[in-house]
Structure 1
């Protein structure tokens, strides 16, 4: 039996072979659920939910609703126990990857290719970005910084002013460049700047 921990690293290798330039973000909070894997592609975000043979479908319907709001494409990655029934549990635009043990190693098979998610909520998708990343997008599109406004306000302005076809690549660019070692410092600096502006 393959467990989640057995699947992850080989899955990342498989995805890199299939897609080339990718960035993997694990355990990303989205709504009331947590995405097992977010795969950043040059012009799309792809969510992947892993259901190993040790897992059940108990939380899947809620997870599907959350994935559908955030990502351009979604996949479910399932062990052999779930392979025959998984199609009943995910929308028909979700891709399906099966995984089984071959000579002690996980082997992946593309059962169904993902199609573009018709339910993606662009406000939620942009909400995956941190405030300094949104500032970069504002700068790239010659928008005001709206320093004293909320993150939701800024997202609404971006969606109003920037064409979606341009945002696909810009959101991916920010996530490709995300540096977890410096972002905390950037966020603190941004909040301090915003606070000083309010005090003035």
Structure 2
């Protein structure tokens, strides 16, 4: 029996070998679900759900709805227990990768290739970015900084002003370059600046 923990590292190697240049991000909140893997490609984000032999289909319908809002493509990875019936539980545009044990290793097979998801929301994708990353995209496109505005407001403006064909590669590049060692400090500095801006605005309004 293959468990989630057995699949992850070999799966990462398989994905990099199959797709080429990618970055793997794990355990990202998407709506009411949590994506097991976000695979960043140069112009697209791919959601990957792992259904190991120990998993059931109980939550899958809700997960599919969330994945389809956030990702350009989606893939389900399944052990042999679910291999035969998994296609009955995910939309036809979802890719399917099957996994099975073989000679003390795990073999992966692309049972069905992923297809473009037409229901993806650009604003939902932008919500995966942190404020410093959004600010960098704003700067790249000559947008106003909107430092005193909420993240939701900034996302709305980016979605309105930047065409998807320009924005998609920029979002991917931000995620390719994301440095978890630096981002906490960047976010702290960003919030300090936001607080200063808010205080300055309150002072002006009281004059």
Aligned ranges 1:128-167 → 2 under 5 Å = 128-167=128-167
Kindly state the Cα deviation for residue 64 of structure 1 after the two structures are TM-superposed: 0.5
Structure 2 Cα separation of the partners of residues 98 and 17 of structure 1: 16
Instruction: Give 3-state SS (helix, strand or coil) of 2:11's partner.
Output: helix
Do structure 1's residue 15 and structure 2's residue 3 form an aligned pair?
Answer: no
Do structure 1's residue 121 and structure 2's residue 121 form an aligned pair?
Answer: yes
CA-to-aligned-CA distance 1:134-162 (integer Å, 9 cap, x gap): 00000010000000011111111111110
Structure 2 Cα separation of the partners of residues 64 and 75 of structure 1: 10
Query: Which of these two proteins has the greater Rg computed from alpha carbons?
Result: 2
Structure 2 Cα separation of the partners of residues 84 and 15 of structure 1: 22
Structure 2 Cα separation of the partners of residues 88 and 20 of structure 1: 29
Q: What's the C-alpha RMSD, in Å, of the aligned pairs?
A: 0.6
Structure 1 Cα separation of the partners of residues 20 and 122 of structure 2: 25
Do structure 1's residue 28 and structure 2's residue 6 form an aligned pair?
Answer: no
Structure 2 Cα separation of the partners of residues 161 and 138 of structure 1: 10
> Runs of 5+ in structure 1 lacking a partner?
none
CA-to-aligned-CA distance 1:158-196 (integer Å, 9 cap, x gap): 111101001110000000010111111111111111111
List structure 1 segments (4+ residues) > 6 angstroms apart after TM superposition. none
> Runs of 5+ in structure 2 lacking a partner?
201-207
Do structure 1's residue 3 and structure 2's residue 8 form an aligned pair?
Answer: no
Partner of 1:102: 102
Kindly state the Cα deviation for residue 121 of structure 1 after the two structures are TM-superposed: 1.1
Count of aligned pairs: 200
Structure 2 Cα separation of the partners of residues 199 and 53 of structure 1: 54
Kindly state the Cα deviation for residue 104 of structure 1 after the two structures are TM-superposed: 1.9
Partner of 2:112: 112
Partner of 2:50: 50
Aligned ranges 1:47-86 → 2 under 5 Å = 47-86=47-86
Structure 1 Cα separation of the partners of residues 104 and 88 of structure 2: 29
Structure 2 Cα separation of the partners of residues 74 and 164 of structure 1: 19
Structure 2 Cα separation of the partners of residues 77 and 20 of structure 1: 18
Kindly state the Cα deviation for residue 105 of structure 1 after the two structures are TM-superposed: 1.0
